[in-house]
């Protein structure tokens, strides 16, 4: 999950030819509840560091928002709005025109240490997806909850007047949560606060964003928060630290329930991963790998071809028909989670994109303590993958090109994955 970056040079770096950058890095936004807002951090020389806000403005923020696939910038915040970072401060005096492909392509980007300055200022920004960002809140799942829209620097709710399944479908698709099964009304997920941004929403169901649907206009409504709208999407993955791995659960007849692992395989997992916009399936877990669920077991003996649009479209015994217990709950691990998979051992990893290759870094100690030979790992095919060691981290590398060693490059929420 990252995008190609270059990382500017300081005065000690030798000149390079035009278009080249002698350093490479990744960028992330942290200390926020959204992938598209937070403190800006740059990965360089094995460390994440911050950016100083000297000369920072909306044009600079725009480049970062576009770089992360987050649409237009709506705010370039300063003075540690998202909290103070730690470690090195990699960039200062960033001056962008706004059309650069990377923040490090902007003029006068240098490696700089602001630590000596009194009153350290760090760089943060807020971005929005195309016109408005959307999120689901006040639920135990990323794929159900009260619908909230980000506009004019504030999160606000959607009124439930005319709110229906077509509207919910657009939200579920926009968030990569598959098919909508319920469009909730009357503040089913609790009353929100702040502005009510949308009212009388009327979607066809194929719009790319809820704000593309017909509505009264942003901020125009005759509602109260007791009418806040919500959605429940059909499938969710739970009991994991990733949106793209976990125990598979299905919403049916007003209840979340699990899937039995009888005949559960990679083709079945593939349908779930695609349904949730999580890329390819890398593992179809069994025996309650992500813990035992509760409530009904909705599916058993699932047999997918792999190209179905929903897990419920696959062959199965019938909703609620099974001979299983929750110790057989099925799960999936999709490529959307940055992991290295050795047998049944999963390690959280750093994914860094340089100009020419992808690198996945894992702490040596975590590999060695598991009895693994850290220097036998590889990405893609072993004959064309390599590794390098920096400090306590081993980085596995593969060329950043599609169709090399079986590598597939795709964009998920503006990030490259492989």
Helices then strands (H, E): number in the chain? 4, 26
Q: Are 270 and 303 in contact (CB under 8 A)?
A: no
Q: Give the Cα separation of 388 and 380 in Å (integer).
A: 16
- Residue 196: phi, psi to the nearest 5? -105, 110
Domain ranges of the chain: 26-127, 133-232, 235-334, 339-417
Structure tokens belonging to residue 381:
């095919």
Q: Are 210 and 201 in contact (CB under 8 A)?
A: yes
CA-to-CA dists, residue 296 to 85, 86, 248, 254, 314, angstroms = 45, 46, 13, 11, 19
The CATH label, of 3.10.250.10, 3.40.50.360, 3.40.50.620, 3.40.50.720, for the domain at 235-334 is: 3.10.250.10
Cβ-proximal residues to 12 (8 Å cutoff; 6+ apart), any chain: none
Q: What is the distance, to the nearest Å, from the Cα of residue 66 to the centroid of all Cα atoms in its chain?
A: 15
The CATH label, of 3.20.20.150, 3.10.250.10, 3.10.129.10, 3.30.70.260, for the domain at 133-232 is: 3.10.250.10
Structure tokens belonging to residue 363:
């702490």
- pLDDT tens digits, 64-74: 887 877 777 77
Domain 26-127 coded CATH 3.40.50.980: no
Could you tell me how many residues make up the chain?
418
- CB atoms under 10 Å from CB of 56, counted, come to 25
**pLDDT score, position 74:** 78
Q: Give the Cα separation of 63 and 50 in Å (integer).
A: 16
Look up tokens 């000596």; give the residue.
116
CA-to-CA dists, residue 81 to 38, 59, 120, 297, 412, angstroms = 8, 18, 12, 45, 27
Q: What is the distance, to the nearest Å, from the Cα of residue 297 to the centroid of all Cα atoms in its chain?
A: 28
* pLDDT, one tens digit for every residue, the chain (418 residues): 333 332 233 323 332 222 323 333 467 888 887 777 888 887 777 778 888 887 788 888 888 887 877 777 778 888 888 888 888 887 777 777 888 777 777 664 333 333 222 122 223 333 322 233 688 899 877 789 999 988 877 889 999 999 999 999 999 988 878 889 999 999 999 999 999 999 999 999 989 889 899 999 999 999 999 999 999 999 998 888 677 788 999 999 989 999 999 999 999 999 998 888 777 888 899 999 999 999 999 999 999 999 898 999 999 999 999 999 999 999 998 876 333 333 333 445 566 655 566 667 777 776 665 545 566 565 554 445 566 777 777 777 766 555 444 444 443 333 333 3
Name the β-bridge partners of 23: none
Q: Give the Cα separation of 16 and 276 in Å (integer).
A: 43
0.75 exceeded by pTM:
no
Structure tokens belonging to residue 69:
């696939």
CA-to-CA dists, residue 172 to 149, 179, 183, angstroms = 14, 6, 10
Q: Are 215 and 202 in contact (CB under 8 A)?
A: yes
Q: Give the Cα separation of 15 and 9 in Å (integer).
A: 9
Question: What letter would DSSP give residue 59?
Answer: H
* 26-127 and 235-334 agree in CATH topology: yes
Q: Give the Cα separation of 169 and 175 in Å (integer).
A: 10
User: Which pairs with CB-CB distance under 8 Å and at least 24 residues apart come from 148-154?
Assistant: 148/192, 149/197, 149/198, 149/210, 149/211, 150/34, 150/74, 150/126, 151/195, 151/197, 151/218, 151/219, 152/74, 153/74, 153/75, 153/126, 154/194, 154/195
Nearest to 47 by CA among 408, 390, 404: 390
Nearest to 318 by CA among 399, 260, 386: 260
- pLDDT tens digits, 267-302: 999 999 888 877 788 889 999 999 999 999 999 999
Strand-pair category, 196-198 with 154-158? parallel
**pLDDT score, position 352:** 63
- Residue 84: phi, psi to the nearest 5? -80, 140
């Amino acid at each position: 999950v990252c995008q190609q970056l270059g990382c500017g040079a300081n005065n000690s770096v030798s000149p390079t030819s035009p278009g080249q950058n002698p350093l490479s890095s990744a960028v992330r936004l942290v200390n926020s509840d959204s992938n598209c807002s937070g403190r800006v951090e740059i990965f360089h020389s094995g460390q994440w560091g911050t950016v100083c806000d000297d000369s920072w403005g909306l044009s600079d923020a725009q480049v970062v928002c576009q770089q992360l696939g987050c649409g237009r910038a709506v705010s370039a915040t300063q003075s540690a709005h998202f909290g103070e970072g730690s470690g090195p401060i990699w960039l200062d005096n960033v001056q962008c025109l706004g059309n650069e492909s990377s923040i490090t392509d902007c003029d006068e980007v240098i490696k700089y240490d602001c630590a000596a300055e009194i009153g350290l200022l760090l760089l943060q920004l807020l971005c929005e997806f195309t016109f408005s960002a959307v999120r689901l809140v006040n639920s135990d799942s990323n794929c159900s909850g009260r619908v909230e829209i980000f506009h004019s620097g504030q999160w606000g709710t959607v009124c439930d007047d005319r709110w229906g399944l077509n509207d919910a479908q657009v939200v579920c698709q926009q968030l990569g949560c598959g098919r909508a099964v319920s469009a909730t009304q009357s503040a089913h997920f609790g009353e929100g606060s702040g502005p009510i941004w949308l009212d009388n929403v009327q979607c066809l169901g194929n719009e790319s964003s809820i704000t593309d649907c017909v509505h009264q206009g942003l901020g125009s409504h005759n509602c109260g928060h007791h009418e806040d709208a919500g959605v429940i999407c059909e499938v969710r993955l739970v009991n994991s630290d990733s949106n793209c791995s976990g125990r598979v659960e299905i919403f049916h007849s007003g209840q979340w329930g699990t899937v039995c692992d009888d005949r559960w395989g990679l083709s079945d997992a593939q349908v779930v991963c695609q349904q949730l916009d999580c890329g390819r399936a890398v593992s179809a877990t069994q025996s309650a790998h992500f813990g035992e669920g509760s409530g009904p077991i909705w599916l058993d003996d699932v047999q997918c071809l792999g190209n179905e649009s929903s897990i419920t479209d696959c062959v199965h015994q019938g909703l609620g028909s099974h001979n299983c217990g929750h110790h057989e709950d099925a799960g999936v691990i999709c490529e959307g989670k940055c992991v290295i998979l050795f047998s049944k051992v999963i390690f959280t990893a750093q994914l860094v994109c340089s100009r020419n290759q992808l690198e996945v870094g894992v702490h040596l100690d975590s590999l060695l303590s598991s009895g693994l030979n850290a220097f036998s790992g590889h990405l893609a095919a072993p004959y064309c993958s390599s590794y390098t060691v920096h400090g306590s981290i081993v980085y596995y590398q593969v060329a950043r090109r599609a169709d090399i060693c079986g590598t597939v490059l795709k964009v998920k929420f503006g990030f490259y994955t492989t």
